[in-house]
Amino acid sequence: MSAPFYKLGAFGDEANLIVAFFIGIGFGFFLERAGFGSAKKLVSQFYLNDLAVFKVMFTAIVTAMLGVTYLSWVGFLDLSLVYLVPTYWIPQVVGGLVLGVGFVVGGYCPGTSVAATATGRLDGLVFVLGFAAGTLGFALAFPLVAGLYTAGDLGTKTLPQVLGIPYGALVFGVVLMAVGGFVGATWLEKKMAPKAAPATATE
Amino acid sequence: MASVTHDVVPEAAAERAPAAQPYTNPYLAGIGLGLVLLAAFVLVGRGLGASGAFNSSIAWLVSLVAPGYARSNAFLAGYLEGGTHPLKAWLVFEVAGAFVGALLSGLLAGRVALAVEKGPRVSVAARLVLAFVGGSLMAVGAALARGCTSGQALTGGSLLNLGSWVFMMCVFGGAYAVAFFVRRQWR
C-alpha cells in the first residue's frame, strides 16, 4: 500500500494545505466547465429540460468509484484510511430534504455558489452570504438541535455492508444504474425540449 | 466584463459576452471532476467538500467576537480544536482553490460577467432575497447532514457510504417537491 500518501506520512500538514488548494483548483475548474457556475443551468435539473447535474454528478461518482475500487484491488490504495462521514440517518434525511429545498430556492449548492461568485454572479455571492448566515444561525441554535443532530447514529457504514452485497457487485450495480440513468435522462431531455424551445425563442 | 444583465440564459450567453463558449460535454466534465476527486482520495485520503469551509470560517469569526462562547458551543468547538489557526483547515484551502479554478475556467471560456441568474418573470431584488433564503436553508441542511452536495453526495456517493446515498436521494426529493412552487423564479 502506498496511498493515501498524506495519511501514510508522505507529506506533512503544511504541504497538505497546498495540495488542498490545487485539488480545489481542479474542483472549481470542472464545476465551471460543466456550467455549474450558472443557477439557471443547475436548477434546470429540477424542471427536467437539462439533466446535466445528474449526468455530471453520476459520471464523477462512477469515475471516482471505479478508480478507488481498482486502486484498492491492486493493493495501491488502502481504502480503510479514506475518511468516511459517519451515518446519522435521521439528520441526514432531514438535512437532505432541507438542502434540496434550499437548492431550488437559492439556485446553488455551497461548491457551485463559489464557482458562481468567482465568475461574477451576484446571486451567487448573495447565496454565499446567506449560507454564512445560516451556518451562524445553526451554530447559535445548536443546543436546541443537538438531539436531532446525533439521532439515528449507525456509525461508519457502507452500502455493501448494510445490503450484504459484495463490494464489486454493488460497484457494478451502480455503474449499470448510472448508465441506465444517462439513457433515461437523455430521453427525458428530448421529451421536454419542444416545450422549452419556443419559450426561449420569444424572450 | 459585460454589464449587468437581468436575464441570463445559458443558451443566450452569446448576447452578453460574444466570446462565451458552450459548456463542456457533461460526461467529459464529470470524468474530470471524478479524477479530481480520485486524486484527493489517493493524495490525502479524503474527498472534496465545501460546507466545511464555511463552518471553519464562521467558527473563526465567532471566536474573534466571543472566544469563550465559541469554545463552549459544541458545533463550533469542533472547528477550533488543535493548536493551529481555524482557517488553516483543508477545506478552507480547497474552497479558495475552487474559487481560483472556476475563475480560470470562466476566463478561458469568456463566461466571467457581472450578472444575476434568474428567469424573465422575477425582479432582481426578489431573486437576491431568494438566493439569500436558499443559501440559509442549505446551510442548515448541510450542517444537519454533516456535509453538502460535495462532501456527502459526490464524495460519499463514490465511496458507497450509506448516509451519503440516503442524503442524496433526499436532496433530489426535496428539490423536486418544491420546484413547482418556485418556478416563477426560473422560467
With contacts defined as CB-CB under 8 Å, which chain B residues touch A135? 51, 54-55, 58, 139, 143
User: From the CB of residue B174, how many other CB atoms can be counted at a distance below 10 Å?
Assistant: 25
In this complex, is the C-beta atom of B87 within 8 Å of any C-beta atom belonging to chain A? Answer: no
Distance from the Cα of B62 to chain A's closest Cα (Å) equals 8
Which tens digits make up the pLDDT trace of B138-147?
Answer: 999 999 999 9
Domain boundaries, chain B: 10-186
| Amino acid A192: pLDDT | 87
Distance (Å, whole) CA B67 – CA A193: 55
Q: Does B71 touch chain A (CB under 8 A)?
A: no
Q: Are B31 and A62 in contact (CB under 8 A)?
A: no
Q: How many other CB atoms sit within 10 Å of the CB of residue B132?
A: 21
In three-state secondary structure terms, B47 is: coil
Q: List B5's β-bridge partners, or say none.
A: B115
Average pLDDT score, chain B: 91
Which residue type does B68 have?
Answer: G
**Chain A nearest-CA residue for B180:** A47
Q: What is the mean pLDDT of residues B162-168?
A: 97
Identify any residues that bridge with A77 across adjacent strands, giving them in sequence order: A3
- Backbone torsions φ then ψ of A87, nearest 5 degrees: -90, 120
ipTM of this predicted complex? 0.94
Sorting pLDDT into bands at 50, 70 and 90, what band is B1?
very low
User: Which element (helix H / strand E) includes A153?
Assistant: strand A153-155
Please report the pLDDT score of residue A201 as a whole number: 46
C-beta atoms of B30 and A59 within 8 A: yes
Q: Which grid cell is B167? A: 442524503
Q: Whose grid coordinates read 452485497?
A: A165
Residue A136 near residue A71 (C-beta atoms within 8 A): no
**A117 chain-B contacts, CB cut-off 8 A:** 99
How far out from the chain centre does Cα B54 lie?
10
Cα distance from A153 to chain B (closest Cα, Å)? Answer: 10
- The answer to whether the beta carbons of residues B158 and B34 sit under 8 Å apart is yes
Instruction: Provide φ and ψ at B180, rounded to 5°.
Output: -60, -40
Identify the pLDDT of residue A1: 78
What proportion of chain A, given as a percentage, has pLDDT over 90? Answer: 93
Q: Does residue A17 register a pLDDT over 50?
A: yes
pLDDT of residue A74: 97
pLDDT, tens digit (0-9, with 9 covering 90-100), for A53-68: 999 999 999 999 999 9
Query: Torsion angle of alpha carbons A145, A152, B168, A160, nearest 10°?
Result: 160
SS (H, E, C) B69-111: HHHHCHHHHCCCCCCCCCCCCHHHHHHHHHHHHHHHHHHHCCC
Question: How far apart are alpha carbons A95 and A100 in whole angstroms?
Answer: 8
Q: Which of A96, A101, A98, A104 is nearest to B184 (CA)?
A: A104
Task: Confirm if A108 and B148 have CB atoms less than 8 A apart.
Answer: no
pTM for the model:
0.92
Asked whether the beta carbons of residue B135 and residue A22 sit closer than 8 angstroms, the reply is no
CA gap A67, B89 in Å, rounded: 26
Position A194 scores a pLDDT of 61
Determine the distance in angstroms separating the CA of B95 from the nearest CA of chain A, rounded to an integer.
6
Residues facing B161 on adjacent strands: A158
A4 preceded by a cis bond (ω within 30 of 0): yes
Least confident of A182-196, B1-15, B133-147: B1-15
At residue B3, the 3 state secondary structure works out as coil
A200 vs B148 pLDDT, higher one = B148
Judge residue A155's burial from the number of C-beta atoms within 10 Å of its C-beta, 0-12 exposed, 13-18 middle, 19 or more buried.
Answer: exposed
Residue of A8, A32, A84, A167 to mutate when probing chain B, most B C-beta within 10 A: A32
Which has more pLDDT, B82 or B106?
B106
Helix axes A52-73, A167-202, angle to 10 degrees: 160
Mean pLDDT within A152-161 = 96
